[in-house]
Chains A and B, each alone.
Chain A
Amino acid sequence: MSRFLQAAAYGVVQGGLLGLVAVGFSLVWGVMNVVNFSHGALAVAGAYVAWILNVRFGLDPFLAIPVVAVALFAFGYVVQRGLINLVINAPIFLTLLLTFGLNLVILNGLQLLFKADDRTIDTSYASQSFAIGAVNVPYGRLAACFLALGITVALALLMSRTRLGHAIGATGMDRGAARLMGIRARHIYAVTFGIAAALAGVAGTMIATVGSFNPTTTPGQLTLDAFVISVLGGLGNMYGALVGGLVLGIAESLGGLLLTGTWVNAIAMAVLIITLIIRPSGLIGKALYGGRVEV
C-alpha cells in the first residue's frame, strides 16, 4: 500500500511539472493554431538563463524566474512579430516546418554557446523531500506543481477578466472578426507567443532544478511531452494542460508500479488513445477550437 501511495504522490507532483511544460504550448496551439516545435528549445533556453544566473550570481532558480520570463517573453515576442507572423496565414504544415527550423537554430546556437554537456541547477532543497508516513514528497517537484497551478489560474484569470485576455480569446476564435473590432491581431499573436515562450522558460527552469538538461535530447522530449499533454487535456481551456499533465503523470507512475518500468511510455500512449476515443476534443478541451474561422 505504501508503494501505491508513494507512486500516486510522485505521479501528482510529476504531473504538475508536466503540466507546466505544456501550458504555453497549449496556449499557442489553441489561440494561434501553431504547433510550436520550438517549445522544448525555448524551455531549454530558459533553463540556460536560470543556470547562468545561478552559477554566476548565485541566484536561486525560483528568484530567477521573473528574469527568465521577461527574457523569454521578449525573445518570443520578437520571433513571432519578425518570423512566425510571416506564415501565420499559411497551412499548418508550413508553420510546423518553420518552428522546426527555429528549433534547430536555437539548439545549435545553444550548443555553440554552452556545448552539449548535461547541466543541472544545484540547490540544497530541490532533491530533498519531506515524509508523510512512508511517502516522500520532493520539495522541488512539489514547488513546480504549485507553480503550474498558480500559473494556470493566473492565465485563466487573464483570459477571462482582462481586455488583453478577451482580445487573445477573440483572435483565437475568429481573427477576421477580431480585426473588425479593432484588435491588432499581429500584436496579440506576438503577445501570446511571448507569454508561451515565458512559460516555456519557467518550465525549463524547473526542469533544470529538479533534473538535468542538455540541448540535444531534452528539447525533443519536452516538445513531445507538451504535444501529448495538450492533446490529452484538450485545447481552448486554460486548465487543459494541467489536467492532462496530472493524468499523464499519475498514469505513468502507477503504471510503472504495476508493470515493468519499460512500459511507462506505452501506458502513456494507451491513456491518450483511450481518452481520444471517448472524448476526441481531449479531457476538458472545447470542440470549437477544431473548427474555428481563419481569415
Chain B
Amino acid sequence: MVAMAVFVSAACGGGGTTSGSGSNVTFAAPVSQTGAFGQAEGLYTLQGYKFCVQTLNSKGGISYGGQSHQVKLVIEDDQSVAATSAQIVDQFHDQGDKLILSPYGSAGTTAVAPVVERNAQVMVDSNGADTAIFSHGYKNTFAVLSPSSSYVTSIIDALSALSPAPKTVAIIAASDGFSQHAAEQGVTEAKAKGMTVVPSATAYTSSTKVTANATDVSSALIAIKGTNPDVIIISAHLNEAVAAVKQASELGVKPKDGFAATVAPPTPAFISALGKSSEGIFGSTQWVPEISASDPVFGSAHEFLTNFTNTYGWSSQQYPYQAADAAAGCEALALAIEKAGSVDPAAVRTALVGLKADTFYGHIEFDSTGMNTSKPMYVIQIQKSAFVTIYPSNLATKQAIWPAVS
C-alpha cells in the first residue's frame, strides 16, 4: 500500500517516500440523494466520489508529509435544492471540513461557491458547468469539467461535420442559467456554421424557453411546429429532454434529421425513460472512454470505465459520465494536497492554481477564473441502446447514423 502511495505521489510531482500512516483526510460533499437529481445525476456523482475515494485508499491514500493518509468521504443529502447545498457546506465549515467536493449541477454549485469563498474553504467543482459561476472572481472554486459554453457548441460542431450538414436547427432551452447559457453559445456557433436557427435566434429566451425540470414542454414544441427544422436541440436536463422527445411525436413535430440534447442522452436514465424513442439521439458529454488518457490512480480511461461499471453494476455500453466528472474532481483535490504537502486550504488552493495533471479524464489545468478550458467535449449517439462516440472523428467508434430519424 505504501508503495502505491509513493506511486501516486510521484505521478503528481510530489516525490519523496512515505513512512507510515497519518491521520485521515476528509473530503466533504453535499450530493443529491433525493429530489429531482437524487436517483440519476446525483446518484452518478455520489458513485463517482465513492469510487474515487475507494480507489485512492486501496492504493495507499494520499501521500504528504512523509506519511500516507486515508481519505474519508463525508456526504450530506442536499435534496436537490441549491440553498440546502449551501447550508450543508456552511455546516461542513463549522465541523472543520475545509476540502469540499461540489454538489451535482450548476444551481447547487452556484449557491455553494460564495459560501466556500466566505469560509476560506476550497472546492473542486465536478458537475457545475455554468460559466456564470466563474464570473464573480471567486478564488477558491476550481472546475475540472468543460464549461457550459461547450455543450451545445460541441453538438453543432458534430452536426456540421456530418453529410449532409443540417441547414436549420431549433433550440429548446430550460430556464436555468446553465441551459440558457449553453443555448446562447449554441446559437452563436450555429450561425457561425451557416445554420439558420428557427423559429428565431432568440427563441430560446422566449417561445422555446421552458421551465427547468418541467415534464410538459408542449408550448416550445408548438412554437417550433411549422418551422420544419432539420434538427431539434434540447439544452436542458433529463426531465425536459425526455418530455421533449415524447411530446414532439405526439404533436407531429418531426425534425428532418433528428434530435440532440446536452446533458440527458449520455445517462442511463434517458434510455430507460424513452426506450426505443432514444435511438439515434445525439448528446454532448464531458468524457468518453475512447480518449487517450491515463493516470496511476485509475489507469487508462478504458480501465476506469471497466472498474467503475463493475463496481456499481452499470453496463459498459451505458455508463454515467457524471461519475467520471466526480472521480476526476476528487482526484484533482487529492493531487493538489500531495502537491501542497498539506491539507491547509490556502496551500491546497495555491496547489490547485498551479496544477497541471494528465489523468484518465484528460488534462486538468485551471485558468485564472478556475475553469478547465483546455479539456474538449465529446458527442455520442445512442445506437442500439449503447452510447457510441461519434465526435471528434478520431475517437469515433462507429459512424453516426444519419439522418438519425427514418
- Chain A residues within CB distance 8 Å of chain B: 2-3, 6-7, 10, 14, 111, 115-120, 122, 127-129, 131, 134, 136, 138, 140-141, 210-212, 214, 216-217, 221, 252-253, 256-257, 260-262, 264-265
Given A122-B276, A217-B36, A261-B210; A212-B242 close (CB under 8 Å): yes
Cβ of B218 under 8 Å from chain A = yes
Tell me the residues in window 229-244 of chain B with beta carbons closer than 8 Å to chain A beta carbons: 238-239, 242-243
Given A214-B39, A216-B35; A221-B215 close (CB under 8 Å): yes
The smallest beta-carbon distance between B239 and chain A, in angstroms, is 7
Pairwise interchain contact B276-A211, C-beta atoms closer than 8 A: no
Q: Pick the residue among B40, B214, B215, B250 that contacts A261 (CB under 8 A).
A: B214
Cβ of B354 under 8 Å from chain A = no
Q: List 30 A-B contacts (CB under 8 A).
A: A3-B222, A3-B226, A7-B222, A117-B268, A117-B269, A118-B238, A118-B272, A120-B274, A122-B276, A122-B277, A127-B277, A128-B250, A134-B226, A138-B251, A211-B243, A212-B242, A212-B243, A212-B273, A214-B39, A216-B34, A216-B39, A217-B35, A221-B215, A256-B218, A256-B222, A257-B219, A257-B222, A261-B211, A262-B175, A264-B219
Question: Inside 8 A of A122's CB, which chain B residues have their CB?
Answer: 275-277
Pairwise interchain contact B251-A136, C-beta atoms closer than 8 A: yes
Q: What is the CA–CA distance of A257 and B221 in the complex, to the nearest angstrom?
A: 10
Q: What is the CA–CA distance of A129 and B273 in the complex, to the nearest angstrom?
A: 20
Cβ of B397 under 8 Å from chain A = no
Pairwise interchain contact A253-B219, C-beta atoms closer than 8 A: yes
Pairwise interchain contact B38-A10, C-beta atoms closer than 8 A: no
- Which of the four size classes fits the interface of chain B? 35 or more
Nearest first, the 8 closest Cβ-Cβ pairs linking A and B are A256-B219, A116-B39, A136-B252, A138-B250, A118-B273, A261-B219, A127-B249, A261-B210
Given A116-B38, A116-B39, A141-B250; A261-B220 close (CB under 8 Å): yes
Question: Inside 8 A of A256's CB, which chain B residues have their CB?
Answer: 218-219, 222
Cβ of B375 under 8 Å from chain A = no
The smallest beta-carbon distance between A108 and chain B, in angstroms, is 10
Question: Inside 8 A of B206's CB, which chain A residues have their CB?
Answer: 260
Q: What is the CA–CA distance of A266 and B253 in the complex, to the nearest angstrom?
A: 26
Q: What is the CA–CA distance of A262 and B220 in the complex, to the nearest angstrom?
A: 10
- Chain B residues within CB distance 8 Å of chain A: 34-36, 38-40, 175, 205-211, 213-220, 222-223, 225-226, 238-239, 242-243, 246, 249-252, 268-269, 272-277
Q: Pick the residue among B208, B220, B222, B277 that contacts A6 (CB under 8 A).
A: B222
Q: What is the CA–CA distance of A210 and B220 in the complex, to the nearest angstrom?
A: 18
Q: Pick the residue among A116, A117, A138, A264 that contacts B216 (CB under 8 A).
A: A264
Question: Inside 8 A of A134's CB, which chain B residues have their CB?
Answer: 226
Pairwise interchain contact B209-A261, C-beta atoms closer than 8 A: yes
Given A127-B277, A211-B215; A10-B272 close (CB under 8 Å): no
Question: Inside 8 A of A128's CB, which chain B residues have their CB?
Answer: 249-250
Pairwise interchain contact B249-A129, C-beta atoms closer than 8 A: yes
Q: Most chain-B Cβ atoms within 10 A of its Cβ — which of A115, A119, A138, A260?
A: A260
Pairwise interchain contact A119-B276, C-beta atoms closer than 8 A: no
Pairwise interchain contact B269-A118, C-beta atoms closer than 8 A: yes
